[in-house]
Structure 1
């Protein structure tokens, strides 16, 4: 497989993952961290790091909005539930 095709496939898989996480607002970040070792915030940080590596100007809140599909504070107010201990 050539590099361009690989990149396109990886990008499509990433978009599908982000879309899935946007739909599954019932899944809390803490649950993702406990089970998978990463969460939406991790994806935001990885997205930001990739942008910075390529010289794309972006801040953490912009990266979060890309992953969450809305400003983080709005997502948190709508969907984040208190932690169950």
Structure 2
């Protein structure tokens, strides 16, 4: 596999991940953080960092829109639920292991 093929495969995998997450709006970012240690916001930050490394001018808000498929504020208003006490406790536990 050459470098171009590798890049194209990585890009396709990223697009598939974003599409998968888009189909699972019921899965909250806090759930992803608890289970996997990353969330949609992390992907947005990584996207922005990659753009910065390539000297591509993109705002964090635009990076979020690439991941969320809409402005983050809109996604938050339509899909983000208030974290439950159980979710907050689980998140606290992964941040501060016993």
Aligned mates of 1:51, 1:2 — CA distance in 2: 22
Aligned mates of 2:60, 2:8 — CA distance in 1: 24
Aligned residues: 85
Structure 1: unaligned runs, 5 residues or longer: none
Computed over aligned residues only, the root mean square deviation of the Cα atoms, in angstroms, reads 0.5
> Normalising by the residue count of structure 1, what TM-score does the alignment of the two structures yield?
0.97
Give per-residue Cα distances to partners, 1:52-81, cap 9 Å, x unaligned.
Answer: 111110111110011000000000010001
- The list of structure 1 runs, each at least 4 consecutive aligned residues, that deviate by more than 6 angstroms after superposition, is none
Shift, 1:23, TM fit: 1.1
Shift, 1:49, TM fit: 0.3
Q: Which residue of 2 aligns with 1:64?
A: 64
> Normalising by the residue count of structure 2, what TM-score does the alignment of the two structures yield?
0.85
Larger Rg: 2
Aligned mates of 2:79, 2:8 — CA distance in 1: 31
Structure 2: unaligned runs, 5 residues or longer: 86-98
Q: Which residue of 2 aligns with 1:42?
A: 42
Matched, 1:2 2:2: yes
3-state SS of paired residue (1:5): helix
Shift, 1:22, TM fit: 1.0
